[in-house]
Structure 1
Amino acid sequence: MTIISGSCHCGATKFEVLEEITGVTACTCSTCSKRGALWSYHSPDKFRLLTPREDLATYRWQSRTVAFHFCATCGCSTFGETPDWSTGEADFDNPRIAVNARVLDDFDLAAMPVTVIDGKNLW
């Protein structure tokens, strides 16, 4: 099984992705672009949070359907919880974990294809 570790800058927030990552997404919405995040999306069973949830900080923007989690100590954006948006509508029956690939450890982000989503005009 593939296990990719991730953590914030100070190491207080740690997690694992339990599958290979084959590409990332750059969303142009104001939240994602200001965070500078590149997201990989996973089903909840392919994500393992190693940090107690109470140690995370969470931000919900606009429709409040997406929870952006970040380290409460150093502020690094780490992952989010979202419905699947692949059809253009929120599919709450298919939750996804969005992992900020910029905080993955020992991961070659430069080798990943990047798909741009026009979140600035979609949401």
Structure 2
Amino acid sequence: MNYQGSCHCGHIKFEVEGTLTGAMSCNCSFCQRKGSLMWFVPRKSLSLLTPESNASTYEFNKHVIKHQFCALCGIHPYGEATDPKGNRMAAINIRCLEGIDLESVPVTHYDGRSR
């Protein structure tokens, strides 16, 4: 399935291809504050519809995840990293996707605080 998404102001717009069967909620110091529900897909499944330069990047702790956000409205629509097997991945904030029922998406809780 193809999903459309964006930040609040539309400065960052994207499409993502895949089957949304669940999302992850992390309780690390950053994710808990921003409240994202993340869906992990191969990076090639994410297509930016606006210039890559429209996104600002925040990295912390081990600097392995590029948290992409809009410097205009502050929303974090996606992040980028590499999985343990070396595959490029995107973490899509499903709260930024259009036309989905958040209540119908199963959420797994990840204890990032203890990592």
Distance 1:117 1:18, change over 3 A: same
Partner of 2:102: 109
RMSD of aligned alpha carbons:
1.0
Q: Under a length normalisation based on structure 2, what TM-score does the superposition of the two structures give?
A: 0.95
**Alpha-carbon distance between aligned partners in 1 of 2:33 and 2:58, rounded to the nearest angstrom:** 13
Partner of 1:87: none
Q: 1:44-70 deviations in whole A, cap 9, x for unaligned?
A: 121111111111111001111100001
Partner of 1:57: 56
Partner of 1:77: 76
Q: CA deviation at 1:14?
A: 0.4
Q: Which runs of 5+ in 2 are unaligned?
A: none
Q: Would you identify which runs of 4 or more consecutive aligned residues in structure 1 move more than 3 Å?
A: none
Partner of 1:44: 43
**Alpha-carbon distance between aligned partners in 1 of 2:100 and 2:19, rounded to the nearest angstrom:** 11
SS in 1 for 2:87: strand
Matched, 1:20 2:13: no
SS in 1 for 2:95: helix
Q: CA deviation at 1:92?
A: 5.8
Q: Under a length normalisation based on structure 1, what TM-score does the superposition of the two structures give?
A: 0.89
Aligned residues: 115
